[in-house]
């Protein structure tokens, strides 16, 4: 499975091409609404106030409501792109923003919004993954979900999956939501931004997906998550906490009742173990701030930079559906690769039953 995206934040449209999709997957424009709505800006006061319809048009690869096996092409037209500061943005580099590195790589500047480096691009990853999620659920009973697991210094006081979709932060503990609202209101008024951590989980992944050297499941997941705008770190299972653990603690004891823990995050030797696949992703604070900062212009002069326009005070707030999308796309790719190499090897004994009882 190969996915590519195209288009700019302030161009006429953004889109994606999904190549290698099996035929026969039922797909309709309405199927995209839920996940695109979960990711969209402008739906609460805590995100960028850009209001996009994010309506998906299916341009190719689908006939009579089912994928044909040829590349699937999806398009979303931009309807609310209206930055006014192109001229100034084109002359300056925002510290912490990709406009400096894009300039060095390509030798020119596309100042329309964030251009290609805008988080607007992630719309199409979420759209592509709608197909992956359907296929994974129908063919393998695999489901993917996620939640915010830290915002700034704040961590959840409890964990309830039922709370996650009921608040604007994908926060897993409803009682903390009013405090988070106040925190975000104060942050927004101050003009600053903050980072966040997202945790995504796949249930129902069978043992055996992933490859032993190139294409390890954890390596592919790390690459996929790091390819999301603003990501600065990825952990699988216990992740960096593994550094302080003893081996006797980290290993996940096995019995006929199941695994006793899931420090491995469902992956051993780059191959799924049959436990929940658990990935945590660190998002940096948004770099486009109205607070002044020292930077350079294209002529090398030191200038004070102030970024106006509509920006997220915490881009991680909208990132849960994006991380879920990348998890689903990697899992579908690995499932297809596993089938291509190993066919249906069937159930191999012994298999530790069930999912880990340990939520992230
Ligand atoms: C973004 C900046 C803002 C956000 C945008 C992400 O847009 P603009 O390009 O107009 O400055 O609104 O997010 C979306 C529009 C979206 O759909 O996610 C950025 O710089 O990343």
What region, left, alpha or beta, does residue 215 occupy, with left being phi > 0 and alpha being psi -120 to 50 degrees?
Answer: left
Note the pLDDT of residue 354. Answer: 67
Instruction: Report the C-alpha gap between 241 and 204 in whole angstroms.
Output: 25
Is 81's C-beta closer than 6 angstroms to any atom of ligand 1?
Answer: yes
Note the pLDDT of residue 89. Answer: 77
Q: How many CA atoms lie within 13 A of 32 on its CB side?
A: 22
Closest C-alpha residue for ligand 1 atom 13: 120
Note the pLDDT of residue 84. Answer: 67
Sign of CA pseudo-dihedral 359, 224, 336, 133:
positive
Q: How many CA atoms lie within 13 A of 163 on its CB side?
A: 16
Residue 18 makes CB contacts below 8 A (sequence gap 6+) with: 1, 2, 3, 61, 71, 72, 73, 74, 128, 131
Q: How far is the CA of 76 from the centre of ligand 1 (A)?
A: 14
Closest C-alpha residue for ligand 1 atom 14: 120
Note the pLDDT of residue 358. Answer: 44
Model confidence over 316-357: pLDDT tens digits? 999 999 999 999 999 999 999 999 999 877 677 888 886 644
Burial group, residue 231, by CB count within 10 angstroms (0-12, 13-18, 19+): buried
Is 333's C-beta closer than 6 angstroms to any atom of ligand 1?
Answer: no
Instruction: Report the C-alpha gap between 225 and 203 in whole angstroms.
Output: 18
Residue 104 makes CB contacts below 8 A (sequence gap 6+) with: none
Q: For residues 319 and 228, is the Cβ–Cβ distance under 8 A? A: yes
Instruction: Report the C-alpha gap between 136 and 31 in whole angstroms.
Output: 15
How many contiguous H segments (helices) and E segments (strands) does the chain have? Answer: 9, 16
Is 52's C-beta closer than 6 angstroms to any atom of ligand 1?
Answer: yes
Q: Which atom of ligand 1 is nearest to the CA of 49?
A: 12
Q: For residues 3 and 16, is the Cβ–Cβ distance under 8 A? A: yes
Q: Which residues pair with 56 in a beta bridge?
A: 76
Ligand 1 pocket: which of 7, 8, 9 to mutate (most atoms <8 Å of CB)? 9
Closest C-alpha residue for ligand 1 atom 17: 120
Task: Output phi, psi for 4, to 5 deg.
Answer: -130, 155
Instruction: Name the residue ranges covered by the structural domains of the chain.
Output: 2-342
CATH T-level fold of 2-342: Chorismate synthase, AroC fold (3.60.150)
Is 9's C-beta closer than 6 angstroms to any atom of ligand 1?
Answer: yes
Mean pLDDT by 10 residues, the chain (360 residues): 95 97 97 97 94 97 98 97 75 91 89 80 98 97 98 98 98 98 97 98 97 96 98 98 98 96 98 98 95 95 91 95 98 97 80 61
């Amino acid at each position: 499975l190969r996915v590519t995206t195209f288009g700019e934040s302030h161009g006429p449209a953004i889109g994606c091409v999904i190549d290698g999709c099996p035929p026969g997957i039922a797909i309709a424009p309405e199927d995209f609404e839920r996940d695109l709505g979960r990711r969209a800006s402008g739906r609460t006061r805590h995100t960028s106030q850009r209001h996009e319809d994010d309506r998906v048009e299916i341009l190719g690869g689908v006939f009579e409501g089912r994928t044909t096996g040829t590349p699937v092409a999806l398009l979303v037209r931009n309807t609310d792109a209206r930055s006014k500061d192109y001229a100034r943005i084109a002359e300056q580099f925002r510290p912490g923003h990709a406009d400096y590195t894009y300039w060095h790589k390509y030798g020119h500047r596309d100042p329309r919004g964030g251009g290609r480096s805008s988080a607007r691009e992630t719309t199409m990853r979420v759209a592509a993954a709608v197909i992956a999620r359907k296929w994974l659920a129908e063919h393998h009973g695999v489901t993917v979900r996620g939640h915010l697991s830290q915002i700034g210094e704040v961590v959840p006081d409890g964990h309830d999956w039922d709370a996650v979709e009921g608040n604007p932060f994908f926060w897993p503990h409803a009682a903390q939501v009013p405090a988070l609202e106040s925190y975000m209101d104060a942050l927004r008024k101050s003009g600053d931004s903050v980072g966040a951590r997202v945790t995504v989980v796949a249930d129902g992944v069978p043992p055996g997906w992933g490859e032993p050297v190139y294409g390890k499941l954890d390596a592919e997941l790390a690459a996929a998550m790091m390819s999301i705008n603003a990501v600065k770190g990825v952990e699988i299972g216990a992740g960096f906490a593994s550094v302080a653990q003893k081996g006797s603690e980290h290993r996940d004891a096995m019995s006929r009742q199941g695994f006793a823990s899931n420090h491995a995050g469902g992956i051993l030797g780059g191959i799924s173990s049959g436990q929940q696949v658990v990935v945590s992703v660190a998002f940096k604070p948004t770099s486009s701030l109205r607070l002044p900062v020292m930077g350079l212009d294209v002529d090398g002069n030191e200038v004070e930079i102030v970024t106006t326009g509509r920006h997220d005070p915490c881009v991680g707030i909208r990132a849960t559906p994006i991380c879920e999308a990348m998890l689903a796309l990697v899992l579908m790719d690995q499932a297809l690769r596993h089938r291509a190499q190993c066919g249906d090897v069937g159930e191999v004994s012994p298999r530790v039953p069930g999912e880990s009882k340990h939520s992230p």
